[in-house]
Chains A and B, each alone.
Chain A
Amino acid sequence: MSALGNDGVAARASDVWKVYGSGEAQVVALRGVNVELARGAFTAIMGPSGSGKSTLMHCLAGLDSVTRGEISIGDTQLTGLGDAGLTKLRRDRVGFIFQQFNLLPMLTARENILLPLSIAGRKPDRGWFDTVIDTVGLADRLSHRPSQLSGGQQQRVACARALVTKPEVVFADEPTGNLDSRSSAEVLGFLRSSVHESGQTIVMVTHDPAAAAYADRVVFLGDGQIVDELTDPTAETVLDIMKRLDTLLLVNAGELAGSDAGPVR
């Protein structure tokens, strides 16, 4: 991956440490993570609970600050950007899909999709909007409110909202965590097709090997570090690594306790 030039990198984390709390209550969530996420690719970040995968995504997306190290999206260094800068970055260059509570209940599907554009005061690209709507298959649901949509439909609206701004990166945090398998497949299917057909960059955090199998590349996190990765994964290969990771971590846990698990300033 270091072979990729800067042009090909949508987001990068360099020696990123993230520490919560201090003293006795100190928790180290990320320990010197280095990762580059390729432009136009669908990357999944995987790992067991507490591995730091969500923290890594939050840091990459500018939702959380890092304790040490650097994050960049495109050419922009996130470290040192104030709230206004981060807000603008999120608004203009990043898209989000969350596990739940993804939509504003008082807005229609169309209004929810166009929300980031409205906030930015930008006019939607009519053709692209239609493309996105077609892709997510919501053309006949646009004037519905979230309460009138099924879970899967709501999540597709959320996807459309993330895609409609043509962001540099879409961050998806367990996007299928609340969905049944059929809805999951639909959502993941067009996330992948938006990458392959429109060149969208997507970074997805998941703990579901089946979901990770839709990605081009899977990065495995364990105990705050990148422990493995996989290109062109299948559910089986992902599952294998996950199983291996579990045993590996159990072994490591003993070693780490004695070595560099100490506090990071």
Chain B
Amino acid sequence: MLRATLTSMLHRKLRLVLSGLAVVLGVMFVSGSLILTDTLSRSFDNLFAGVYADTDVQVHGEPKVAVDEFEGEQVPATMPADIVDRVADVPGVASAVGEVEADGARVIGSDGKVVTSFGPPRLGVNWGGQGGLIELRDGRGPSAPNEIAIDAALASNAGLSVGDQVGVLTLEPRQDFELVGTFGFTEDRDTIGGVQFVAFTDEVAQELMLGETGVWTAVDVKAAPGVSHEQLRDDLTAALGDGYQVRTGAELAEDASAGLRSGLAFFNNILLGFAGVALFVGIFLILNTFSIMVAQRTRELALTRAVGASRRQIVGSVLVEAVVIGLIAAGLGLAAGVGVGALLATLAGGFASLPTAGLAVPASAVISAFTVGVLVTVVAAGMPALRASRVPPVAAMQEAATPDRPLTRLSVAGTATLAAGGAMLALGLTGNAGGQELWAVLGGVLVCFVGAALLTPLIARPVVSLLGRLFSWSVPGKLGRLNSGRNPRRTAITAAALMVGVALVAGVGVILDSAKTSIGGLAEDAMDAELIISGEQTGPRPPSFDPDVLDRAAALPGVDTVAGLYGDQAEVDGQTGFVSAGTDLAAVRKMFGLTAESGTVDTLAPGQLVVDSRTAEDRGIAVGDRLPVQLSRGEPSTYQVVGVYEWLPIFGGFVLPPEATANFGIPQPDMGFVKLTEGTPADQVQPQVAALLADSPEVSVTDQNAFIEQQSSQLDSVLTMIQILLALAILIAVLGIINTLALSVLERTREIGLLRAVGLGRAATMRMITVEAVVIAVFGALLGVVVGSGLGAAVVGALGDEGITTLTLPWTQLATYLVLAGIVGVVAAVLPAIRAARTDVLTAIAYE
């Protein structure tokens, strides 16, 4: 039986190629993601191992507020300067050196713009001389307060050279320094992982990066000869007591890369999610291929049954076929994934100036490639295998007419599945899934897709017939339309595969568009400021600007009120979260239209705070409560709640008085709002405010519309990202269309021959196939748009509480998907159409 199966497969190898291709692409995506993240992860390990290679032990303070890396940046803890002496006194210490290292040293390049970073920190450090990793390239280290040295890569990116006057933004507004030197790193590196280094003299580094002199962020300790790093660490820990982190170089490297690894793992999960979608779509394609092949082989199967094969053997033979395809495809997919993963890792490494580790194929990639590849194929082949086993032996003697099976059972199952999916989705969206909301939503979407796919055959005939009318003006068009309606199951599965990808893109589009309109509308309604000062955030650190600008803007003619907002990650009453502070609560209140629910939200004296109604409710906070607050810097202090304001989607959280900002991680405002006096045109004041921002190049001043536009453009890039990641799923669906058409053309050789005999030209034959493809593709896209809009609308409905109150459908976008589907149909039809046009009339009509 096995031999018969394999021989029979060889005869149909071409037909198996396309369905195998779906698995190859899906597996490629899976193993590619795994290899990409594995390579990057090992590259970071190498990087940090190198960075800390010369480090014996380092002492750090405990951070005031421990910040999750997805929430923001950790502000480094400082230690008083006498720590160096205390460390030096510990036996076994050969030397101890105080160091400053903090993110937020932003260099203004020769073009007047801040050199941006898409992730790696922009460190301000004290110049500790050459040695260790540092190698001077040009000039010397800074020795006077107005001198700096920067790393070679930064110098070249910023277009700066030794002798230039360079503006640097730190905790303080812009200050100018003389660039006295550039440095690289050992092994002739210009940069370490894209991190920007600005080296100041000790005191300047302390003042500008930490906000006070006489403190260090780290003490670098060298062990005396014969003392192991671990021993030294333990001795130091014992000697210094609580409140310090003492780690060896190896531990520091491990901690540093562990932080990045968790980010990579998150990234990897996202990629795997999209790979999952691609494989899910692949299941449709394989299911269809196997179904068609089983249908075409009815006689062969019946004959096998007639000569004595059992049902089990038939199922087995189909499944063996699936396993073989799955194994081969998984192997190819793994190979392709290794290539793609390595290529992407090199590209990403180049982008992040990260020397990539050598190629290695992690076991996880191999295991998942084969598991996923085989599992997907076997699952997809299961149904057709069962159907094959139900072919009665007598079918061998009959005309191979497949009667239309009723769709009742399928449709009932589809309705039930859709309802189950809807229920899961509802539970997830309303937060009633017992903490598994995300899984409930994702599972619900998946189950909804299966339900919709099961219902598709039922609606295929009427919808396809309706769609087809668009093309029925010609005979080939009419024939194509009729062909696409002939086998509703086949058309349905093919279209459903396309539906999945389009539905996800369309659903996300609906959610983002609704979010844009809702937030935009809210901002327009609520925000009572004509001009807004803000900048685009590219890394973990928000852009900020000189607070003096606010005062000077307030003094401009035509300006009514000015308010600035500061933000920090702080620990309030034991919980870490975002807090803000306004320069003037009354102004903030006016501009955002805040209303007091209890207490007062008009003014804040030092030691007072207000909070939004939701947070108050969640955490049981009421006016009059006294809450301990630890900001990024400084000592903990107690604040009294004086008011609770009504939560707004664009404004929430604890609001502290302006005095608190001195201890914020970034003691500079990140947004400013300018309200003009009645009748003052915005474009008259805007250039004046812009002039004030000359030394704060991270931000710019825009009018309200441009601000909203700027904010929503970030959502657009999210959509683009998702479109790119779903492209593979859609590509697989297109393969499905090609596959279905190719198999149909093969099946209808006689008909095509007849049509050619009675005078259908080659071009017309191609047109007929093309119309069929276009009808299927547009049908799939239409389903996707409808299902996606439905899912999107459901999510939007559930997000009403989060301020997404307006459901808007991105009509242009949705229409574009339909048009694109039409084009995709034309492209998918090319090969099958050529094949059909080449049909040899004589062979086609020859008797069996």
Q: Please name the residue on chain B nearest to A87 by beta carbon.
A: B761
State the Cβ distance, B811 to closest chain A Cβ, in Å: 34
* Contact indicator A91/B482 (Cβ below 8 Å): no
Docked-complex contact B754 and A101, CB < 8 angstroms: yes
**Residue B762 at the chain A interface, CB threshold 8 Å:** yes
Is A161's CB within 8 Å of the partner chain B? yes
Contact check, A96 vs B847: say whether CB atoms are below 8 A apart: no
**B759 touches which one: A88, A98, A99, A100 (CB < 8 A)?**
A88
Chain A residue numbers with a CB within 8 Å of B475 are 115, 118-119, 121
Selected from B482, B759, B761, the residue in CB contact (under 8 A) with A107 is B482
- With A120-B759, A161-B758 in contact, is A58–B842 under 8 Å at CB? yes
CB proximity to A under 8 Å, residues B535-588: none
Contact of B486 among A87, A105, A177 (CB under 8 A): A105
Whether the pair A63, B760 counts as a contact (CB closer than 8 A) is: no
Within 8 A of B (CB), among A108-127: 115-116, 118-121
Nearest CB to that of A90 among chain B residues?
B759
For B757, give its contact among A90, A118, A121 (CB under 8 Å).
Answer: A90
- Whether a CB of chain B sits under 8 angstroms from the CB of A234 is no
Given contacts A63-B841, A99-B847, contact A106 B485 (CB under 8 A): yes
Cross-interface CB contact of B842 among A63, A101, A120, A121, cutoff 8 Å: A63
Contact B842 A87 (CB under 8 A): no
**CB proximity of A259 to chain B, nearest CB, Å:** 29
CB < 8 Å neighbour of B761 from A58, A84, A161:
A84
Known contacts being A64-B842, A106-B482, A106-B483, is A101 close to B750, with CB within 8 Å? yes
What range describes how many residues of B lie at the interface?
Answer: 20 to 34
Bound-state Cα–Cα, A91 to B754, Å: 11
Contact assessment for A91 and B758 in the assembled complex, using a CB-CB cutoff below 8 Å: yes
**Residues of B close to A99: CB separation below 8 A:** 847
Given known A87-B762, A118-B475, contact A104–B841 (CB-CB < 8 A): no
What total of chain A residues lie within 8 Å of the partner, measured CB to CB? 31
Does residue A260 face the partner (Cβ distance < 8 Å to B)?
A: no
B744 → A minimal CB distance (Å):
12
Q: Which residues of B contact A119 (CB under 8 A)?
A: 475, 755, 758-760, 764
Contact of A100 among B478, B482, B847 (CB under 8 A): B847
Output the least CB separation between B302 and chain A (Å).
Answer: 20
Encode A141-178 as 1/0 by CB contact (under 8 A) with B.
Answer: 00000010000000000000100000000000100010
- Asked if A96 meets B486 with Cβ closer than 8 Å, knowing A64-B842, A119-B475, the reply is no
A92 within 8 A of B: yes
Which residues on the A side are within 8 Å of B754 (C-beta)? 96, 98, 101-104
Q: Is chain B's interface secondary structure helix, strand, loop, or mixed overall?
A: helix
Q: With the chains together, A119 CA to B762 CA distance in Å?
A: 12
Q: Is the CB of A91 within 8 A of B847?
A: no
A250–B270 alpha-carbon span in the complex (Å): 78
Q: Per a CB cutoff under 8 Å, which of B483, B750, B758, B764 touches A96? A: B758
Given the complex, which residues of A lie within 8 Å of B659, measured CB to CB? none
- Distance A116 CA – B759 CA, assembled complex (angstroms): 7
Question: What separation, in Å, do the CA atoms of A107 and B482 have in the docked complex?
Answer: 8
Contact with A along B745-757 (1 / 0, CB 8 A): 0000011001111
Cα A85 to Cα B408 in complex, Å, equals 49
Contact of B756 among A87, A120, A147, A177 (CB under 8 A): A87
Once bound together, how far apart are the Cα atoms of A70 and B482, in whole Å? 39
**Interface-centre pick from A63, A84, A88, A177 (highest chain B CB count, 10 A):** A63
Query: What mask results when residues 464 to 486 of chain B are scored 1 for a CB within 8 Å of chain A, else 0?
Result: 00000000000100110011011
| CA gap between A176 and B759 in the complex, in Å | 23
A63 contacts across to B, CB distance below 8 A: 757, 841-842, 845
Collect the chain A residues with CB atoms within 8 Å of residue B764's CB. 119
Inside 8 A of B751's CB, which chain A residues have their CB? 101, 104-105
A83 sits at the interface (CB 8 A): yes
Contacts A100-B847, A104-B754 given; does A91 touch B485 at CB 8 Å: no
Interface residues in B430-487 (C-beta closer than 8 Å to A): 475, 478-479, 482-483, 485-486
Say how far A216's CB is from chain B's closest CB, in angstroms: 25
Residue A106 contacts which of B486, B750, B757, B842 (CB distance < 8 angstroms)? B486
- The listed residue with most A CB atoms (<10 A of its CB), out of B401, B751, B761, is B761
Leading 3 A-B pairs by shortest Cβ distance: A91-B759, A106-B482, A101-B750
Known: A63-B841, A90-B759, A98-B845. 8 other contacts (CB 8 A): A58-B842, A83-B762, A91-B760, A105-B751, A106-B479, A106-B482, A119-B759, A173-B845
Residues of A within 8 A of B (CB): 58, 63-64, 83-84, 87-88, 90-92, 96, 98-107, 115-116, 118-121, 147, 161, 173, 177
Chain B interface (Cβ within 8 Å of chain A)? Answer: 401, 475, 478-479, 482-483, 485-486, 750-751, 754-762, 764, 841-842, 845, 847
Q: List 5 A-B contacts (CB under 8 A).
A: A63-B845, A98-B754, A106-B482, A119-B760, A177-B847
